[in-house]
Structure 1
Amino acid sequence: MAVIEFINASNNTYKGMKRAINYIKNPDKTELHLVGGKDCSPDTALNEFVMTKQNFKKETGRQIIHFVQSFSPHDKATPEVINEIGKKLLEYEAFKGFQVVYVTHTDKEHLHNHFIINSVSFTTGQKWQLSKKKLEKLKEYSDELCRDYGLIVVDGAKGNHKNRGEYRAKDKEQSWKYELFLAVRQCKWCSRSKEEFISNMEKLGYKVDWSDKRKYITFTTPNGKKCRNRKLYPPKQFTKEALIKAFELNEQQATNKQLQARMEILLTVIEMISNDKSNNYKSHLPLTALEGRAKKERAIEESKGRGLDWKNGKSM
């Protein structure tokens, strides 16, 4: 998986903040379409960071947080895919309410994402903090994203990697939980009731223990592994209440035939992937393979659409 490393440079001054942002946006290290901003524009991020600090009178102390997400040089992922993974990483709850500039660097043998976070939240004025426990959760989330895209494991010190065979063995051991997550998410939007949800999960090979006497739902995978709904991320989307609310929305917005058609299409695609000998690596994780294919294709198509913005006379 990707290695996450925090940079402990001097970030306590305006000049230090400016220098760091300019460094990650250096055109010798990246391309314009690989530069992005969360809750800010990368072109005006410095001023936006300063305005947030002034608004909450928090102009002293650490000004920014700088970290890097590095990938194996043996991966064949495009810079656009790596950039999309970086953007997805910022959906993690620790970044909520914080402005971030993110850039994919292509100047090294290994592709890597740089992130510059404003140390002050633009919604609460609180300083950004990441406990050891939350850091581990962030790394786990990063690992989930990498598994989603089928990337090679990066292990230990920066730059060390496992070969493809070792990656496959590791993936078979751990990716079942992400496959379960995808199955629950799919069946959540293909069902109109608790009973229908359980039936759809059984069609995918999963058993569901949903009792009114117990707080949590327990899922059992086709291989016998057990997992509670609170272990799926983000957990608030898979509580009993959240699932029932989704069922009610499905009842209002879709007909039974439409939901059945969704499920039938899903089962057909899963069967095709499972029987595809050329895709044997992911045949035991068909939903993971399906999502990985879709995201890679979307990233490639998006990169094709980038070019010159004729209206504004700028590169996109």
Structure 2
Amino acid sequence: MAAKMGGVSEGDDVLARWSDGLLYLGNVKRVSVCACVCVQFEDNSEFWVLRKDIHSFSVGVEEVCCVCDAPPLKEPLINCLKCRHGYHPECHTPSIEPEADSNSWICRQCVFAVATKRGGAIKRGRFARLMQIMKLRLPYQLSSLDWDPQHLTNQQQCYCYCAGPGEWNLKMLQCGSCGQWFHEACTQCLTKPLLYGDRFYEFQCSVCASGPETIQRLPMSWVDLAHLVLYHLSLCCKRKYFDFDHEIMSFANENWDSLLLGSLSDTPRQDRCHNLLNALNSNKDRFVSGKEIKKKKCLFGLQVRAPPPLTSDSSPLITDPPINITQRRRSE
């Protein structure tokens, strides 16, 4: 007999929310008593996923609420048009309005499944509007989360509007008002995709703004830019050292407009090289050059593989190791 937990059984096809805020198709291989599910994904990789981040498919119209597992109360359950999961109106976040059309209503999970995407959530159309409404309330109590001293991670692995897992240094924005971290994929305010470790934004979430998110680019120095490019390359390429001309400078030039560099953005192409190279050679506390380790002098790496610090950071460098950034093909 297949093991079962919270409506999920071995062999079930499920959607699992990953730390990038996106949902990926997988198959349940094992379930445990500690609220974890082992899921095999389409690339045959297997990972343990928290039950809260697993979304199963429904066959037909459900007769119990998928949130509290209770049957209908005074009124029938409202079933989602897409996934067919049933909800008590008060169990869904936000509560389902009495005038909601039971033949066209779509649940929060399905709205986020459709609206989220790499580079930032969709900004136009029905699902974009529904997402904005859903984002006015979090589906959990922010005050109940147990944070580390630097307010980077919480024990519950609960972040963003989607309540999914997250990695603060992997394309997430921190709200300046509530301190919570939000996935790039779930935000609708970005004009350009984030780089890994890019925290040079002043961001306010929809909950704190009581409406659309607000965002403003913070000023960056040449040292910040060099640090950010090296950190992004180190996570993408899984190497420590990079050639200045062919990798560091090439990446900066190719992504110059996307970096939103403010006052630096008007720097002529011929002057960028001098400024970046000077930043790398003049900040030994952040960067290591090849000649210091008996390698080619045109190679540079980070002293500590950590995102560039903000001036508001209490500690100059956060030395937690980078987390797995395995990329998977998103299920359609």
TM range, smaller chain:
under 0.3
- TM (normalized to structure 1)? 0.27
Q: Greater RCO between the two (CA within 8 Å, min separation 6)?
A: 1
Q: Looking at secondary structure, tell me which structure has more helix per residue.
A: 1
- TM (normalized to structure 2)? 0.27
